[in-house]
Structure 1
Amino acid sequence: MNRKRKDVINSEELFVGIDLHKRTWHVTIRTEEVELFSGSIPGIWEVLRRLLHRYKAQHIYAVYEAGYFGFWLHDHLTEYGVDCLVTPPSLVPQEYGNRVKTDRRDSRKLARLLAKGLLKRIWVPNAEERF
């Protein structure tokens, strides 16, 4: 488990990149300038909620790539007060020269691009519109 954690700080805005898998999620939490946390957690909403609770911010923004996980995590994050963006993987800007994909790199890249405002959002249907 590769974890990086700095002291909990108060910040106006936090940006969270989440790389989802069945059993574990790689999460990166950062401000615009500084990475505060990067590590794997069990793929359970309550674990992510407790992690986010450690960081005090007026606004928390999160992103994950659209895929087979659907929108249940989006629903939990928005209920918790997080502005959650679900982005299509095909529109995530690629870093040229970097062909090695890892969960850590993916979550760090998502958080960094989110902080810079470089990600596109897909429309998330509300619960009544889903099957």
Structure 2
Amino acid sequence: MKTIAYLGMDVHKDTFNLCALDGTTGEILGETRCASDVKLVKKFIEKIASNHKGEIQVKAGYEAGCLGYSLHDLLEKQGIDCDILAPTTMYSSSKNKVVKNDRLDAKMIALNLANNTYKPVYVPDEEDICVKEYIRMMKDFKTSLKKIKQQVMK
């Protein structure tokens, strides 16, 4: 039987806090704090899989924040299914609001993944990124054209 492990990640520029939760029993499979490197996340997942009997599937997630889509893209390239959670849609207990630390945040993200009590952030594909860059380029050209016209008129 294939078990789903939910990996909550509280991510910062320099460090990641990871918390893996068993999808069926709700027990914590492992917690750790590591440097902000996708290889270390993959190593943590492999360690969890080796300790767990049977086949394991991992669903990872982190709160939308300073890292944007870069971590999501790196995890997807490593073959790890990942969601970016919108912070305003996540369930948060009153205890977590009083006592706030990275370890509890990672656990709360894992619980939200397991219970599906969040809305994922839309991750743009390659075409969306190209359109966005094209619109920015056109805006820059219009701004520079306006400045040049103003200089000529002076």
**TM beyond 0.5:** yes
Kept in 1, the 8 Å contact 2:7–2:61? The answer is yes
Distance 1:11 1:26 in 2: 25
d(CA) in 2 for partners of 1:70 and 1:129? 15
Give the aligned partner of residue 117 of structure 1: 116
Residue 79 of structure 2 is matched in structure 1 by 81
Conserved in 1, the CA contact under 8 Å of 2:89 and 2:117? no
Corresponding residue to 2:4 among 7, 13, 16: 13
Relative distance call for 1:45 and 1:91 in structure 2 (3 A) is same
Give structure 2 stretches of 5+ with no counterpart: 50-54, 134-154
Contact 1:86 1:121 in 2 (8 A): yes
2:14 alignment counterpart: 23
| 1:30 CA displacement | 1.4
* Cα separation, 1, equivalents of 2:59 and 2:68: 18
Higher relative strand content? 1
Q: TM-score, normalised by structure 2?
A: 0.71
Determine if contact 2:19/2:31 at 8 Å carries over to the other structure.
yes
Could you say what the CA RMSD is over the residues aligned between the two structures, in angstroms? Answer: 1.8
Runs of 4+ in structure 1 displaced over 6 angstroms?
A: none
- Structure 1 unmatched ranges of 5 or more: 1-9
Bigger mean CA deviation after superposition, 65-74 or 95-104: 95-104
Sequence identity of aligned pairs in percent?
27
- Structure 1 or 2, whichever has the larger Rg, is 2
Q: Which has the higher helix share?
A: 2
Distance change in 2, residues 1:79/1:106 (3 Å): same
What SS class does the counterpart of residue 39 from structure 2 fall into? helix
Higher RCO, 1 or 2 (CA under 8 Å, sep at least 6)? 1
1:108 aligns with 2:99: no
What is the CA distance between 1:80 and its match in structure 2? Answer: 2.2
- TM-score, normalised via structure 1 length: 0.83
Distance 1:39 1:53 in 2: 13
Higher mean displacement: 90-99 or 28-37: 90-99
- In structure 1, give the amino acid aligned to 2:59: Y
Which amino acid in structure 1 is aligned with residue 41 of structure 2? L
Distance in 2 separating the partners of 1:41 and 1:22: 11
Q: Establish whether residue 34 from structure 1 lines up as the match of residue 27 from structure 2.
A: yes
Q: Contact (CA 8 Å) 1:78, 1:84: kept in 2 or not?
A: yes
